[in-house]
């Protein structure tokens, strides 16, 4: 997956939020109009779609007070409304989010998750974004980090269980194979803690999804900065169990509809994520 979240203005919001909710939080009322997409019987009966989401990853998902907010929350809610039901977001740690889906704790995952071949062995995806990853450093880049090669011998924070963590491990192995020092990778269960480790000087850099890095920098411009250009763009999708074929078809239709009617681009524009729209 792609990810990141913590401290300073943005961090304070994310941290406080992480302490507030361990269960699920409803977001978005069901529309009274006839649904544009008829959902599977189980969704229609429940009158809601429950999403597992690690709500510590601004601007994609985070808490404002005790209310989930962010681009994924808006997108998940818009998909549910097209089916005439509510959206509910169950705060779930990212390293256990696929097991939570497979154990039927939720109907789908929407959590800035990269659609990868490894994950497709367990779940199906409905892609809705394409996002690259970025390095974040302290303001002024005192250690002169400018790309992956410059991470040799450096300490980098990242969220546990993410595509970003696996990508760093692969890059570290490449550096070692070339006779250089590898990357010391420090993982955190919550992405905002990984970002905070950089702010407090415990690591040399942080690695996460580009929109998340941009969010941290926007919230704390005196503390953080980009290092180099975004890399490794990967599709981001909603994950579903492989037996949920009807729901997957409905969600694919919903995503296409949101792009066609302009709502997806309005949502992404609201969160400064227009550059990550799919080219449909």
Can you say whether the dihedral through the CA atoms of 236, 165, 217, 8 is positive or negative? positive
What was the pLDDT predicted at 18?
A: 34
The count of other CB atoms within 10 Å of the CB of residue 16 is 13
Tell me 6's DSSP state.
-
What was the pLDDT predicted at 208?
A: 95
Instruction: Judge whether 8-131+235-276 and 132-233 match in fold.
Output: yes
What was the pLDDT predicted at 35?
A: 77
112 contacts 2 by C-beta, under 8 angstroms: yes
217 φ, ψ to 5°?
-65, -40
Estimate to the nearest angstrom the gap between the alpha carbon of 49 and the chain centroid.
18
164 contacts 1 by C-beta, under 8 angstroms: yes
- Can you tell me the mean pLDDT for 197-211? 96
Residue 232 pLDDT class (50, 70, 90 cuts): confident
Query: Residues 138-186: pLDDT tens digits?
Result: 999 999 999 999 999 999 999 999 999 999 999 999 999 999 999 999 9
Query: Residues 246-278: pLDDT tens digits?
Result: 999 999 999 999 999 999 999 999 999 999 999
Cis peptide before 59 (omega within 30 of 0): yes
Task: State the Cα–Cα distance between residues 230 and 28, nearest whole angstrom.
Answer: 33
Task: State the Cα–Cα distance between residues 94 and 177, nearest whole angstrom.
Answer: 30
* CATH of region 8-131+235-276: 3.40.190.10
Whole-angstrom CA distances from 224 to 10, 132, 152, 176, 216 are: 12, 18, 21, 28, 7
What was the pLDDT predicted at 228?
A: 87
Please count the residues of the chain: 280
Which of 208, 145, 156 has the alpha carbon at shortest distance from 183?
Answer: 156
- Give domain limits for the chain: 8-131+235-276, 132-233
96 φ, ψ to 5°?
-120, 20
Domain covering 132-233, topology: D-Maltodextrin-Binding Protein; domain 2 (3.40.190)
Task: State the Cα–Cα distance between residues 35 and 85, nearest whole angstrom.
Answer: 8
Query: Residues 92-101: pLDDT tens digits?
Result: 999 999 999 9
Alpha-carbon dihedral angle through residues 135, 157, 233, 80, given to the nearest 10 degrees:
-120
- CB-based burial of residue 106 (10 Å sphere; 0-12 exposed, 13-18 middle, 19+ buried)? buried
What was the pLDDT predicted at 33?
A: 58
Query: Residues 2-60: pLDDT tens digits?
Result: 543 333 333 333 333 333 333 455 555 444 457 789 999 999 999 999 999 999 999 99
Query: Residues 55-85: pLDDT tens digits?
Result: 999 999 999 999 999 999 999 999 999 999 9
């Amino acid at each position: 997956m792609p990810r990141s979240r913590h401290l300073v203005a943005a961090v304070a919001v994310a941290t406080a939020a992480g302490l507030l909710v361990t269960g699920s939080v409803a977001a978005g009322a069901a529309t009274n109009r006839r649904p544009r997409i008829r959902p599977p019987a189980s969704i229609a009966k429940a009158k809601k779609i429950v999403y597992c989401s690690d709500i510590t990853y601004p601007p994609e998902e985070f808490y404002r007070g005790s209310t989930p907010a962010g681009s994924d929350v808006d997108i998940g809610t818009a998909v549910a409304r097209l089916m005439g039901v509510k959206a509910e977001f169950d705060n779930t740690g990212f390293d256990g989010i696929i097991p939570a889906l497979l154990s039927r704790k939720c109907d789908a995952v929407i959590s800035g998750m990269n659609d990868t071949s490894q994950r497709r062995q367990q779940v199906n995806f409905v892609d809705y974004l394409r996002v690259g990853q970025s390095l974040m450093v302290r303001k002024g880049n005192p250690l002169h980090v400018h790309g992956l090669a410059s991470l040799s011998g450096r300490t980098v924070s990242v969220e546990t269980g993410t595509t970003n963590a696996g990508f760093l491990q692969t890059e570290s192995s490449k550096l070692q194979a070339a006779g250089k020092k590898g990357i010391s990778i420090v993982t955190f269960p919550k992405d905002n803690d990984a970002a905070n480790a950089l702010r407090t000087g415990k690591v040399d850099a942080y690695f996460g999804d580009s929109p998340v890095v941009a969010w941290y920098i926007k919230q704390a411009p005196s503390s953080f900065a980009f290092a180099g250009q975004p890399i490794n763009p990967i599709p981001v999708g909603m994950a579903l169990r492989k037996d949920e074929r009807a729901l997957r078809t409905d969600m694919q239709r919903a995503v296409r509809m949101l792009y066609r009617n302009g709502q997806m681009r309005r949502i992404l524009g609201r969160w400064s994520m227009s550059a990550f729209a799919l080219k449909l």
